[in-house]
Structures are given as structure tokens and as C-alpha cells.
Amino acid sequence: MAQSSLHTIMMPVRGDGKGPKLFAHASALAKRFGAHVKVVHCHPKMEDLMPMGVVIPSFLRKQLQEASETSASSEEDFLHEKFSADAVKHGVSEQDPETGKPTAKFYEYVGKQVEAVRHFGRLSDLICVAKPSKTENLGFNTLKEALFSSGRPVMICTESDATDMQIGRHVSIGWNGSLEATRAVALTMPLIETAEKVTILTGGGSEHSATATEFQEYLANRSVTADIVQFDVRGNAGRQLLKKSGEVGADLLIMGAYHESYERETLLGGNSAAVVEEATIPVVMVH
């Protein structure tokens, strides 16, 4: 059976220093699949910078607009220059997409980063986002928008920007037969089919859902051999998925995300929230 593939990878960037780490992950997959990376820089619209409910004189509005445009242009030039250097560093050609060749291109988007994720993400095969930071209160809105508004798999990247990064040689898959887990498998099949080793991690499932053994048989029909590792769900299942992924030596975890609402899981420390906060390997999530 012919294997599926990744063709387009989207990653949003801004002046927070996360770009090189995201690009290291995106370029590793681009080289593996001959994919194109869309590096999207966002800067806000002028009206988004204006204080709500405050009347601003036209001369002051003009000054603010000029200052904003100058700042945005300066940041764009800096990040584009940094991106070009990273493309050379990681061996990815800076150009328009070319079938079978790892390429990348810098795109400028005027608007909020969550809007850029929605705009570019829906026509991408994978969205790379930085691991959100609680201390800086940064990245949560981008992750939420990518998961809930793009309809695409979202990879939460680690802190590494290594040039020899390997992602997905050994893939672990969290399986409980849920709708989210099913979508995760369907949308990440290129990563699953090209892995050297696949391990199904299961703590059981709900009534009438497909079992891990049935999932294993489904993968076998796609010429994918997978092992099954079972565990007893005690406490937080997401935390256990990370632990078991480490024990089996997986370098990528694929899982369904936020069966409960995002707000509820984030507030109460649900399974997905624990994975987002504690993961030390890349995690691909699908809602």
C-alpha cells in the first residue's frame, strides 16, 4: 500500500524567541517528507492597538500608526533574516513549494496570531506550535486556536533546535477508542506509516469503542506493525501516557486532545493539560 505523506507544515512566529525551535521541528519533518514549511509572521492591525472606548486625536493616531508600522517592519526584517539563516542551518531551501523537496518560505500576516493560525492552518497538514509557558502566560491562545479552529493535527514542540533532530522514528499512540483518538490516528497517518516502530498505549476504553487489539489489526491492514502496551489508569491518564512513552523509548506521542472542554481541563488539570505542561518529547494532538 502506498504511504500517505505530509506536504505542508505551518508554523506561526513572533518576536518571542520561539521561532528557531519551531523551525527545527518543522524542517526535520520537511526533510523527511519533502514538505513545504510556511513560516508565518504576524503583526497586529492598527485598530487592535488602540485602547477600547478612548477617543484619540487624529494626529496622535497617525503617530501611533507610523510607530507601529516601523516597529512591525523592523521585527519582520529581523525575523526574516533569522529564518533565512535557520533555513541554511537546517538544509532547507528558501523558496516556493516544490514537489518532493524540503522547502520553506516566510509569509507576513497582518492580524492576530490566532487569526493567522486559522487562515494558514486549515490548508496545512500539520501545525507546529511552541509549548505554552505558564510563567510568561504565552502560547495558550495559539494552541487553543490551532486545536479547535483549524481541523488539523497540532504538534507541540520541545525546547530543542538541533540540526540532527529525529521525530517519529518510534511513535507512541494513546488509544482509548474515543472520537478524539480516532481523529488523531486518521489525521496523522503519514507519521504512523513512516515510523520505524509504533507502540499503542492503552488504559482501556469506553463501552462500545474499538479495543487496542482491533486498532492494532486496523494498522496491520495498512502494513503497519504495532505493539500494545497496557497500563492501569491511576490518577492522570495524560501523565501516564508521557511516562509510558518514555519507558518504551518513543520520540513522538500522538493523542486525542481535550475530550472535556479546554477551559475545564485547563482549570482542573485534565489529561491533555498535563501533557501540554509536562511533555519532554514532541506531542501531536488532535481535537
The CATH number of residue 74's host domain is 3.40.50.620
Same domain, 133 and 253: no
**136 shares its domain with 191:** no
Look at residues 244, 212, 251 and name the one whose alpha carbon lies nearest to residue 228.
212
Examine the domain organization and report whether 151 and 194 are in the same domain. Answer: no
Instruction: Clarify whether residues 224 and 277 are in a common domain.
Output: yes
Report which secondary-structure segment, H or E, holds 11.
strand 8-13
Residue 105 lies in a domain: yes
CA angle 50, 131, 246 (to 5 degrees): 170
Q: What is the dihedral of CA 231, 236, 242, 247, to 10 degrees?
A: -40
Is residue 13 located within the same domain as residue 100? yes
Instruction: For residue 227, give the C-alpha cell.
Output: 505493539
State whether 31 and 91 are in the same domain. yes
Q: Are residues 94 and 71 in the same domain?
A: yes
The DSSP bridge pattern shows strands 197-202 and 226-230 to be parallel
Q: State the chain's maximal CA–CA distance in angstroms.
A: 69
230-251 exposure pattern, b = at least 16 Cβ within 10 A, e = fewer: eeeeeebbbbbbbebbeeeebb
Contact 190, 125 (CB under 8 A): yes
The one-digit pLDDT tens for each residue of the chain (287 residues) are: 456 799 999 999 988 889 999 999 999 999 999 999 999 998 776 566 555 666 677 766 676 666 666 666 788 888 999 999 999 999 999 999 999 999 999 999 988 889 999 999 999 999 999 999 877 778 899 999 999 999 999 999 999 999 999 999 999 999 999 999 999 999 999 999 999 999 999 997 767 789 999 999 999 999 999 999 999 888 889 999 999 999 999 999 999 998 655 555 554 457 888 999 999 999 999 99
Q: What is the pTM of this model?
A: 0.89
Return the C-alpha cell found at 136. Answer: 510568561
Same domain? For 97 and 18 the reply is: yes
User: What total of structural domains would you count in the chain?
Assistant: 2
109 and 66 in a common domain: yes
β-strands 154-157, 283-286: how paired?
antiparallel
The boundaries of the domain holding residue 31 are 8-157
128 and 174 assigned to the same domain: no
Give the pLDDT confidence score for residue 129 in this predicted structure.
Answer: 97
